[in-house]
Amino acid sequence: MRKWLTVSVLIYFLYGLFVYWYIYMGADSTLPAQFQGGSADPNTFMNSRELTLSQDYSKLRDFMFFTAAPFEWFIFFVVLVTGFAKKMQRWAESISRFFILQTAVFVFALSLLVTLCAFPLEWLRYKISLSYHITTQTFSGWMKDQLIDFWVNCAFMVLIVAVLYGLIRKFSRKWWLFAWILSVPFSLFLMFIQPVLIDPLYNEFTPLKNKELETKILAIAEEANIPADHVFEVNMSEKTNALNAYVTGIGDNSRIVLWDTTLNKLSEDEILFIMAHEMGHYVMKHIYIGIGGYLVLTLLGLYMINRLMNFSIRRYGHILKLDGKKQLASLPLLLMLLGMLSFASDPFSNIISRHQEKDADLYAIEMTENTEAAVSTFQELTRAGLSQVNPPALVKVFRYSHPTILERINYLEEWGSGREE
Protein backbone atom coordinates (compact mmCIF):
# COMPACT_ATOMS: atom_id res chain seq x y z
CA MET A 1 0.00 0.00 0.00
CA ARG A 2 2.79 2.43 0.94
CA LYS A 3 4.60 1.71 -2.31
CA TRP A 4 1.53 2.40 -4.46
CA LEU A 5 0.66 5.55 -2.53
CA THR A 6 4.24 6.81 -2.86
CA VAL A 7 4.29 6.09 -6.59
CA SER A 8 0.93 7.81 -7.14
CA VAL A 9 2.04 10.90 -5.19
CA LEU A 10 5.28 11.04 -7.19
CA ILE A 11 3.44 10.72 -10.51
CA TYR A 12 0.99 13.47 -9.53
CA PHE A 13 3.86 15.73 -8.40
CA LEU A 14 5.79 15.22 -11.67
CA TYR A 15 2.62 15.84 -13.66
CA GLY A 16 2.06 19.09 -11.72
CA LEU A 17 5.63 20.18 -12.48
CA PHE A 18 5.11 19.52 -16.18
CA VAL A 19 1.85 21.48 -16.20
CA TYR A 20 3.53 24.37 -14.37
CA TRP A 21 6.43 24.39 -16.82
CA TYR A 22 4.09 24.29 -19.83
CA ILE A 23 1.71 27.01 -18.62
CA TYR A 24 4.32 29.42 -17.25
CA MET A 25 7.41 28.76 -19.40
CA GLY A 26 6.88 26.44 -22.35
CA ALA A 27 3.58 27.58 -23.86
CA ASP A 28 3.33 30.25 -26.54
CA SER A 29 0.28 32.51 -26.53
CA THR A 30 1.72 35.43 -28.50
CA LEU A 31 -0.39 36.83 -31.31
CA PRO A 32 0.85 35.97 -34.84
CA ALA A 33 2.43 38.97 -36.56
CA GLN A 34 -0.29 39.26 -39.23
CA PHE A 35 -2.94 39.89 -36.56
CA GLN A 36 -1.01 42.42 -34.48
CA GLY A 37 -2.63 45.84 -34.53
CA GLY A 38 -5.92 44.42 -35.78
CA SER A 39 -9.30 43.98 -34.09
CA ALA A 40 -8.21 40.72 -32.45
CA ASP A 41 -5.09 42.25 -30.92
CA PRO A 42 -5.84 42.79 -27.20
CA ASN A 43 -3.49 45.79 -27.26
CA THR A 44 -6.09 47.60 -29.35
CA PHE A 45 -9.05 47.14 -26.97
CA MET A 46 -7.55 46.41 -23.53
CA ASN A 47 -5.47 48.73 -21.35
CA SER A 48 -2.13 47.69 -19.84
CA ARG A 49 -3.69 46.66 -16.52
CA GLU A 50 -6.31 44.48 -18.23
CA LEU A 51 -3.60 42.87 -20.36
CA THR A 52 -1.52 41.97 -17.30
CA LEU A 53 -4.53 40.68 -15.36
CA SER A 54 -5.66 38.65 -18.36
CA GLN A 55 -2.29 36.90 -18.69
CA ASP A 56 -1.96 36.23 -14.95
CA TYR A 57 -5.53 35.05 -14.44
CA SER A 58 -5.53 32.82 -17.52
CA LYS A 59 -2.35 31.06 -16.38
CA LEU A 60 -3.69 30.48 -12.88
CA ARG A 61 -7.02 29.22 -14.17
CA ASP A 62 -5.39 26.87 -16.70
CA PHE A 63 -2.93 25.50 -14.13
CA MET A 64 -5.73 24.76 -11.69
CA PHE A 65 -7.83 23.11 -14.39
CA PHE A 66 -5.10 20.67 -15.38
CA THR A 67 -4.17 19.80 -11.79
CA ALA A 68 -7.70 19.54 -10.34
CA ALA A 69 -8.98 16.58 -12.38
CA PRO A 70 -6.11 14.20 -11.49
CA PHE A 71 -6.46 15.25 -7.85
CA GLU A 72 -9.97 13.78 -7.75
CA TRP A 73 -8.69 10.55 -9.33
CA PHE A 74 -5.98 10.49 -6.66
CA ILE A 75 -8.62 10.76 -3.90
CA PHE A 76 -10.53 7.79 -5.33
CA PHE A 77 -7.29 5.79 -5.60
CA VAL A 78 -6.38 6.49 -1.97
CA VAL A 79 -9.89 5.50 -0.82
CA LEU A 80 -9.43 2.17 -2.60
CA VAL A 81 -5.85 1.19 -1.67
CA THR A 82 -6.27 2.12 2.01
CA GLY A 83 -9.33 -0.13 2.21
CA PHE A 84 -11.53 2.81 3.24
CA ALA A 85 -14.03 2.02 0.47
CA LYS A 86 -14.44 -1.49 1.89
CA LYS A 87 -14.95 -0.05 5.39
CA MET A 88 -17.62 2.36 4.12
CA GLN A 89 -19.39 -0.55 2.44
CA ARG A 90 -19.41 -2.57 5.67
CA TRP A 91 -20.72 0.48 7.55
CA ALA A 92 -23.51 0.96 4.98
CA GLU A 93 -24.44 -2.72 5.20
CA SER A 94 -24.56 -2.57 8.99
CA ILE A 95 -27.07 0.30 8.89
CA SER A 96 -29.66 -1.41 6.69
CA ARG A 97 -30.29 -4.65 4.87
CA PHE A 98 -32.05 -2.79 2.03
CA PHE A 99 -29.76 -2.14 -0.95
CA ILE A 100 -31.20 1.30 -1.76
CA LEU A 101 -30.47 2.52 1.79
CA GLN A 102 -26.99 0.97 1.69
CA THR A 103 -26.40 2.83 -1.59
CA ALA A 104 -27.63 6.13 -0.11
CA VAL A 105 -25.33 5.80 2.92
CA PHE A 106 -22.31 4.79 0.84
CA VAL A 107 -22.81 7.51 -1.80
CA PHE A 108 -23.35 10.16 0.88
CA ALA A 109 -20.18 9.13 2.74
CA LEU A 110 -18.07 9.01 -0.44
CA SER A 111 -19.47 12.33 -1.73
CA LEU A 112 -18.83 14.01 1.60
CA LEU A 113 -15.26 12.70 1.72
CA VAL A 114 -14.43 13.83 -1.81
CA THR A 115 -16.10 17.22 -1.25
CA LEU A 116 -14.13 17.85 1.95
CA CYS A 117 -10.84 16.82 0.33
CA ALA A 118 -11.49 19.00 -2.73
CA PHE A 119 -12.89 21.95 -0.74
CA PRO A 120 -9.53 23.75 -0.26
CA LEU A 121 -8.99 23.66 -4.03
CA GLU A 122 -12.51 24.94 -4.74
CA TRP A 123 -12.09 27.66 -2.13
CA LEU A 124 -8.78 28.69 -3.74
CA ARG A 125 -10.49 28.91 -7.13
CA TYR A 126 -13.17 31.09 -5.59
CA LYS A 127 -10.60 33.40 -3.93
CA ILE A 128 -8.59 33.74 -7.15
CA SER A 129 -11.70 34.55 -9.16
CA LEU A 130 -12.75 37.04 -6.48
CA SER A 131 -9.34 38.73 -6.43
CA TYR A 132 -9.45 39.23 -10.21
CA HIS A 133 -13.03 40.59 -9.99
CA ILE A 134 -14.50 37.82 -12.10
CA THR A 135 -16.54 36.55 -9.17
CA THR A 136 -18.52 39.09 -7.16
CA GLN A 137 -20.28 36.56 -4.95
CA THR A 138 -20.04 36.78 -1.17
CA PHE A 139 -18.56 33.81 0.68
CA SER A 140 -21.98 32.97 2.18
CA GLY A 141 -23.56 33.02 -1.28
CA TRP A 142 -20.77 30.86 -2.67
CA MET A 143 -21.16 28.38 0.19
CA LYS A 144 -24.90 28.24 -0.43
CA ASP A 145 -24.27 27.23 -4.06
CA GLN A 146 -21.71 24.65 -2.93
CA LEU A 147 -24.27 23.09 -0.57
CA ILE A 148 -26.96 23.05 -3.26
CA ASP A 149 -24.45 21.42 -5.62
CA PHE A 150 -23.63 18.78 -3.03
CA TRP A 151 -27.22 17.79 -2.27
CA VAL A 152 -28.43 17.88 -5.87
CA ASN A 153 -25.45 15.83 -7.07
CA CYS A 154 -25.77 13.44 -4.13
CA ALA A 155 -29.47 12.85 -4.83
CA PHE A 156 -28.84 12.10 -8.50
CA MET A 157 -25.83 9.93 -7.60
CA VAL A 158 -27.89 7.78 -5.23
CA LEU A 159 -30.46 7.15 -7.96
CA ILE A 160 -27.87 6.48 -10.67
CA VAL A 161 -25.64 4.27 -8.51
CA ALA A 162 -28.58 2.23 -7.21
CA VAL A 163 -29.75 1.51 -10.77
CA LEU A 164 -26.19 0.94 -12.04
CA TYR A 165 -25.20 -1.54 -9.35
CA GLY A 166 -28.59 -3.22 -9.54
CA LEU A 167 -27.83 -3.87 -13.21
CA ILE A 168 -24.25 -4.98 -12.47
CA ARG A 169 -25.55 -7.51 -9.93
CA LYS A 170 -28.22 -8.87 -12.27
CA PHE A 171 -26.44 -8.61 -15.63
CA SER A 172 -22.75 -8.89 -14.84
CA ARG A 173 -21.59 -9.08 -18.45
CA LYS A 174 -24.07 -6.78 -20.24
CA TRP A 175 -24.88 -4.26 -17.51
CA TRP A 176 -23.20 -1.48 -19.48
CA LEU A 177 -25.60 -1.96 -22.41
CA PHE A 178 -28.73 -1.89 -20.23
CA ALA A 179 -27.35 1.12 -18.36
CA TRP A 180 -26.87 2.95 -21.65
CA ILE A 181 -30.42 2.13 -22.79
CA LEU A 182 -31.79 3.61 -19.55
CA SER A 183 -29.53 6.68 -19.89
CA VAL A 184 -31.34 7.80 -23.07
CA PRO A 185 -34.75 8.71 -21.52
CA PHE A 186 -33.03 9.84 -18.31
CA SER A 187 -30.81 12.36 -20.19
CA LEU A 188 -33.79 13.71 -22.13
CA PHE A 189 -35.80 14.00 -18.91
CA LEU A 190 -33.00 15.99 -17.24
CA MET A 191 -32.77 18.38 -20.19
CA PHE A 192 -36.54 18.87 -20.04
CA ILE A 193 -36.74 19.65 -16.32
CA GLN A 194 -33.49 21.60 -15.94
CA PRO A 195 -34.86 25.06 -16.90
CA VAL A 196 -37.87 24.83 -14.58
CA LEU A 197 -36.66 22.74 -11.62
CA ILE A 198 -32.84 22.71 -11.36
CA ASP A 199 -31.70 26.14 -12.61
CA PRO A 200 -34.09 28.07 -10.28
CA LEU A 201 -32.36 26.44 -7.28
CA TYR A 202 -29.31 28.60 -8.01
CA ASN A 203 -30.73 31.82 -9.47
CA GLU A 204 -33.95 33.78 -9.77
CA PHE A 205 -35.34 34.03 -13.29
CA THR A 206 -37.70 36.87 -14.22
CA PRO A 207 -39.20 38.06 -17.53
CA LEU A 208 -36.96 40.53 -19.37
CA LYS A 209 -37.81 44.04 -18.17
CA ASN A 210 -36.77 45.72 -21.43
CA LYS A 211 -39.88 44.87 -23.47
CA GLU A 212 -38.62 46.61 -26.61
CA LEU A 213 -35.51 44.41 -26.60
CA GLU A 214 -37.64 41.35 -25.80
CA THR A 215 -39.80 42.04 -28.86
CA LYS A 216 -36.72 42.15 -31.10
CA ILE A 217 -35.30 38.95 -29.61
CA LEU A 218 -38.61 37.12 -29.96
CA ALA A 219 -38.80 38.26 -33.59
CA ILE A 220 -35.48 36.48 -34.23
CA ALA A 221 -36.77 33.50 -32.25
CA GLU A 222 -39.93 33.33 -34.37
CA GLU A 223 -37.83 33.34 -37.52
CA ALA A 224 -35.82 30.47 -36.01
CA ASN A 225 -39.04 28.59 -35.04
CA ILE A 226 -38.12 28.59 -31.35
CA PRO A 227 -41.28 28.05 -29.23
CA ALA A 228 -40.69 30.92 -26.79
CA ASP A 229 -43.18 33.51 -25.55
CA HIS A 230 -40.82 35.29 -23.16
CA VAL A 231 -37.17 36.12 -22.72
CA PHE A 232 -35.86 35.63 -19.19
CA GLU A 233 -33.19 37.57 -17.39
CA VAL A 234 -31.26 36.29 -14.39
CA ASN A 235 -29.52 38.37 -11.75
CA MET A 236 -25.96 37.08 -12.17
CA SER A 237 -24.29 40.37 -11.21
CA GLU A 238 -24.53 39.18 -7.59
CA LYS A 239 -22.17 36.35 -8.53
CA THR A 240 -20.00 37.37 -11.46
CA ASN A 241 -18.85 40.07 -13.86
CA ALA A 242 -18.73 37.59 -16.75
CA LEU A 243 -21.23 37.75 -19.61
CA ASN A 244 -23.51 35.04 -20.96
CA ALA A 245 -26.79 34.25 -22.71
CA TYR A 246 -28.25 30.93 -23.77
CA VAL A 247 -31.20 28.95 -25.04
CA THR A 248 -31.88 25.98 -22.78
CA GLY A 249 -34.34 23.12 -22.47
CA ILE A 250 -36.20 21.11 -25.07
CA GLY A 251 -39.78 21.19 -26.36
CA ASP A 252 -42.24 23.35 -24.43
CA ASN A 253 -39.63 23.96 -21.72
CA SER A 254 -37.28 25.86 -24.05
CA ARG A 255 -36.10 29.12 -22.51
CA ILE A 256 -34.20 32.11 -23.82
CA VAL A 257 -32.07 33.51 -20.98
CA LEU A 258 -29.91 36.63 -20.65
CA TRP A 259 -27.60 37.38 -17.75
CA ASP A 260 -28.12 40.89 -16.37
CA THR A 261 -24.36 41.48 -16.73
CA THR A 262 -24.82 41.04 -20.48
CA LEU A 263 -27.72 43.49 -20.46
CA ASN A 264 -25.69 46.03 -18.49
CA LYS A 265 -22.42 45.87 -20.46
CA LEU A 266 -23.41 45.26 -24.08
CA SER A 267 -25.25 47.44 -26.55
CA GLU A 268 -28.53 46.36 -28.07
CA ASP A 269 -26.86 45.34 -31.36
CA GLU A 270 -24.30 43.25 -29.47
CA ILE A 271 -27.04 41.53 -27.45
CA LEU A 272 -28.98 40.75 -30.63
CA PHE A 273 -25.86 39.19 -32.14
CA ILE A 274 -25.38 36.98 -29.06
CA MET A 275 -29.04 35.91 -29.09
CA ALA A 276 -28.88 35.16 -32.82
CA HIS A 277 -25.83 33.00 -32.10
CA GLU A 278 -27.67 31.03 -29.42
CA MET A 279 -30.69 30.62 -31.66
CA GLY A 280 -28.38 29.39 -34.41
CA HIS A 281 -27.67 26.36 -32.23
CA TYR A 282 -31.40 25.67 -32.06
CA VAL A 283 -31.95 26.12 -35.80
CA MET A 284 -29.07 23.81 -36.74
CA LYS A 285 -30.27 21.19 -34.22
CA HIS A 286 -26.98 21.34 -32.31
CA ILE A 287 -28.74 20.40 -29.09
CA TYR A 288 -29.93 17.12 -30.63
CA ILE A 289 -26.58 16.49 -32.30
CA GLY A 290 -25.02 17.09 -28.89
CA ILE A 291 -27.42 14.62 -27.27
CA GLY A 292 -26.60 12.06 -29.98
CA GLY A 293 -22.86 12.56 -29.53
CA TYR A 294 -23.21 12.34 -25.76
CA LEU A 295 -25.11 9.07 -26.04
CA VAL A 296 -22.50 7.58 -28.38
CA LEU A 297 -19.71 8.60 -25.99
CA THR A 298 -21.75 7.22 -23.07
CA LEU A 299 -22.10 3.86 -24.79
CA LEU A 300 -18.38 3.67 -25.54
CA GLY A 301 -17.53 4.95 -22.07
CA LEU A 302 -19.69 2.39 -20.25
CA TYR A 303 -18.26 -0.42 -22.39
CA MET A 304 -14.69 0.73 -21.69
CA ILE A 305 -15.41 1.12 -17.96
CA ASN A 306 -16.73 -2.44 -17.83
CA ARG A 307 -13.61 -3.79 -19.55
CA LEU A 308 -11.24 -1.69 -17.45
CA MET A 309 -12.99 -2.57 -14.18
CA ASN A 310 -12.75 -6.26 -15.00
CA PHE A 311 -9.05 -5.93 -15.82
CA SER A 312 -8.23 -3.74 -12.82
CA ILE A 313 -9.95 -6.03 -10.31
CA ARG A 314 -8.54 -9.19 -11.88
CA ARG A 315 -4.98 -7.80 -12.01
CA TYR A 316 -4.84 -5.39 -9.06
CA GLY A 317 -7.79 -6.40 -6.89
CA HIS A 318 -5.50 -7.26 -3.97
CA ILE A 319 -4.04 -3.74 -4.07
CA LEU A 320 -7.41 -2.02 -4.54
CA LYS A 321 -8.99 -4.20 -1.83
CA LEU A 322 -11.71 -5.35 -4.24
CA ASP A 323 -13.09 -8.83 -4.77
CA GLY A 324 -15.44 -7.94 -7.62
CA LYS A 325 -17.29 -5.14 -9.37
CA LYS A 326 -20.70 -6.03 -7.85
CA GLN A 327 -19.80 -4.56 -4.46
CA LEU A 328 -20.39 -0.89 -3.67
CA ALA A 329 -16.73 -0.60 -2.66
CA SER A 330 -15.87 -0.65 -6.38
CA LEU A 331 -17.70 2.67 -6.96
CA PRO A 332 -14.53 4.79 -6.44
CA LEU A 333 -12.83 2.70 -9.14
CA LEU A 334 -15.76 3.25 -11.51
CA LEU A 335 -15.73 7.01 -10.83
CA MET A 336 -11.96 7.20 -11.24
CA LEU A 337 -12.13 5.44 -14.62
CA LEU A 338 -15.08 7.63 -15.64
CA GLY A 339 -13.10 10.76 -14.83
CA MET A 340 -10.07 9.57 -16.77
CA LEU A 341 -12.10 8.62 -19.84
CA SER A 342 -14.03 11.92 -19.74
CA PHE A 343 -10.78 13.87 -19.56
CA ALA A 344 -9.32 11.85 -22.46
CA SER A 345 -12.45 12.43 -24.58
CA ASP A 346 -12.52 16.21 -24.03
CA PRO A 347 -10.29 17.03 -27.03
CA PHE A 348 -12.62 15.14 -29.38
CA SER A 349 -15.87 16.60 -28.01
CA ASN A 350 -14.28 20.07 -28.03
CA ILE A 351 -13.45 19.75 -31.74
CA ILE A 352 -17.12 19.07 -32.54
CA SER A 353 -18.26 21.84 -30.19
CA ARG A 354 -15.89 24.40 -31.74
CA HIS A 355 -17.21 23.53 -35.20
CA GLN A 356 -20.80 24.04 -34.01
CA GLU A 357 -19.93 27.34 -32.32
CA LYS A 358 -18.38 28.61 -35.54
CA ASP A 359 -21.52 27.65 -37.47
CA ALA A 360 -23.62 29.51 -34.87
CA ASP A 361 -21.39 32.59 -35.20
CA LEU A 362 -21.80 32.58 -38.97
CA TYR A 363 -25.56 32.10 -38.62
CA ALA A 364 -25.70 35.09 -36.24
CA ILE A 365 -23.71 37.38 -38.51
CA GLU A 366 -25.93 36.44 -41.47
CA MET A 367 -29.01 37.20 -39.37
CA THR A 368 -27.78 40.53 -37.97
CA GLU A 369 -25.41 41.62 -40.79
CA ASN A 370 -23.50 43.73 -38.27
CA THR A 371 -19.80 42.82 -38.28
CA GLU A 372 -18.87 45.76 -36.07
CA ALA A 373 -21.26 44.67 -33.31
CA ALA A 374 -20.08 41.05 -33.60
CA VAL A 375 -16.40 41.99 -33.25
CA SER A 376 -17.03 44.40 -30.37
CA THR A 377 -19.05 41.69 -28.60
CA PHE A 378 -16.06 39.34 -28.52
CA GLN A 379 -13.78 42.15 -27.46
CA GLU A 380 -16.07 42.90 -24.51
CA LEU A 381 -16.32 39.19 -23.65
CA THR A 382 -12.51 39.09 -23.52
CA ARG A 383 -12.33 42.09 -21.20
CA ALA A 384 -15.12 40.88 -18.91
CA GLY A 385 -13.72 37.35 -18.54
CA LEU A 386 -10.03 38.30 -18.70
CA SER A 387 -9.71 35.68 -21.44
CA GLN A 388 -6.73 34.98 -23.66
CA VAL A 389 -7.20 35.88 -27.31
CA ASN A 390 -4.76 33.18 -28.48
CA PRO A 391 -4.38 30.48 -25.77
CA PRO A 392 -1.61 27.83 -25.78
CA ALA A 393 -2.23 24.73 -27.90
CA LEU A 394 -2.86 22.25 -25.04
CA VAL A 395 -5.17 24.70 -23.30
CA LYS A 396 -7.22 25.09 -26.46
CA VAL A 397 -7.34 21.32 -27.05
CA PHE A 398 -8.55 20.42 -23.55
CA ARG A 399 -10.42 23.53 -22.41
CA TYR A 400 -11.91 25.36 -25.37
CA SER A 401 -15.36 24.23 -26.45
CA HIS A 402 -15.54 27.49 -28.45
CA PRO A 403 -13.15 28.84 -31.08
CA THR A 404 -10.56 31.24 -29.68
CA ILE A 405 -11.34 34.95 -29.74
CA LEU A 406 -8.64 35.35 -32.42
CA GLU A 407 -10.35 32.79 -34.65
CA ARG A 408 -13.83 34.20 -34.08
CA ILE A 409 -12.93 37.80 -34.85
CA ASN A 410 -10.87 36.71 -37.85
CA TYR A 411 -13.60 34.70 -39.62
CA LEU A 412 -16.26 37.31 -38.81
CA GLU A 413 -14.14 40.03 -40.40
CA GLU A 414 -13.52 37.76 -43.40
CA TRP A 415 -17.30 37.38 -43.74
CA GLY A 416 -17.70 41.17 -43.63
CA SER A 417 -14.94 41.68 -46.22
CA GLY A 418 -16.50 39.12 -48.54
CA ARG A 419 -19.88 40.82 -48.28
CA GLU A 420 -18.40 44.20 -49.17
CA GLU A 421 -16.80 42.70 -52.26
> What is the average per-residue pLDDT within 151-171?
93
306 in Cβ contact with 337 (< 8 Å): no
Q: Read off the pLDDT of each residue in 75-89 and give the average, rounded to a whole number.
A: 93
CA dist 305 to 330, 336, 341, 379, Å?
12, 10, 8, 42
Is 242 a domain residue?
Answer: no
| pLDDT tens figures, 230-287 | 788 888 888 888 888 877 766 666 777 888 888 889 999 999 999 889 888 888 888 8
Residue 364 located in a structural domain: yes
- Whether 222 is in a domain gets the answer no
Q: How many structural domains compose the chain?
A: 1
Residues spanned by the domain of 47: 2-201+285-420
271 lies in a domain? Answer: no
Which tens digits make up the pLDDT trace of 320-378? 999 889 999 999 999 999 999 999 999 999 999 999 999 999 999 998 889 999 999 99
- Is 167 a member of any domain? yes
**Active-site residue list:** 278, 361
Known binding residues for Zn(2+) are 277, 281, 357
261 in a domain, yes or no?
no
370 domain-assigned = yes
- What is the pTM for the complete model shown? 0.88
Query: Higher model confidence: residue 333 or residue 416?
Result: 333
- In the prediction, which pLDDT does 344 show? 93
Mean pLDDT is lowest, of 193-197, 202-206, 298-302, 320-324, for 193-197
Q: Is residue 262 part of a domain?
A: no
